[in-house]
Amino acid sequence: MRALIQRVSKAQVAVDGDIIGKVDEGMLIFICAMQGDSNAEGTKLVQKISKLPIFRDDQGRMNKSLLDVGGSALIVSQFTLGADTSRGNRPGFSMAATPDEGQRLYDTFILDFKALGISVETGQFGADMKVSLVNDGPVTIWLDTSS
Is residue 80 annotated as part of the catalytic site, yes or no? yes
Instruction: Please say if the pLDDT value at position 136 is more than 90.
Output: yes
R_g of the chain computed on alpha carbons: 15
Is residue 79 annotated as part of the catalytic site, yes or no? yes
CA 20, 13, 130, 5 torsion-angle sign: negative
Amino acid identity, position 67? L
E strands in the chain: 2-15, 18-23, 26-32, 55-56, 62-64, 72-77, 119-122, 129-144
CB 29 within 8 A of CB 45: no
Q: Which of 6, 12, 55, 78 is catalytic?
A: 78
Q: Provide CB contacts within 8 A for 98, sequence distance 6+.
A: none
Q: For the chain, give the mean pLDDT.
A: 95
Band (107; pLDDT cuts 50, 70, 90): very high
DSSP string, 128-143: -EEEEEEEEEEEEEEE
Domain count, the chain: 1
Instruction: Please say if the pLDDT value at position 139 is more than 70.
Output: yes
Please report the pLDDT score of residue 146 as a whole number. Answer: 82
Q: Which of 35, 47, 80, 140 is catalytic?
A: 80
CATH number of 49's domain = 3.50.80.10
3-state secondary structure of 40: helix
For 38, the domain range is 2-144
CA distance 63 to 84: 34
Is residue 55 annotated as part of the catalytic site, yes or no? no
Amino acid identity, position 62? M
DSSP helix, strand, coil percent of the chain (3-state; round to 5)? 25, 40, 30
Q: Which of 55, 79, 109, 113 is catalytic?
A: 79
Please state the pTM of the whole predicted model.
Answer: 0.95
CA distance 91 to 83: 5
